[in-house]
Amino acid sequence: MKLEKEELIKVVGGDGISATMLNAIVHVIDSIMDVGRSLGTAIRRIYSNNIC
């Protein structure tokens, strides 16, 4: 089936945020938070001379 130009202009959809995309964004934010937490802990341990 081939659509004509007028029919292609009327096609809508795909512009919403899906649950999969939202889940991926949450995982990226969690990963960034984990890296920041680890980096902060490492800096604090270096300055307090509490290195194993």
Q: Is residue 31 part of a domain?
A: yes
pLDDT for position 8: 86
| End-to-end CA gap in the chain | 68
Range of the domain at 50: 20-52
Whole-model pTM over 0.85:
no
Say which DSSP state 12 is in.
Answer: -
Q: Is residue 46 part of a domain?
A: yes
Q: CB neighbours (10 Å) of residue 33?
A: 10
Q: Looking at residues 37-52, what average pLDDT do you find?
A: 89
Q: Is residue 28 part of a domain?
A: yes
pLDDT for position 17: 82
For residues 1 and 21, which has the higher predicted lDDT (pLDDT)? 21
pLDDT for position 39: 96
pLDDT in tens, 2-31: 888 998 888 887 778 889 999 999 999 999
Q: Is residue 37 part of a domain?
A: yes
Total number of domains constituting the chain: 1
Q: Is residue 2 part of a domain?
A: no
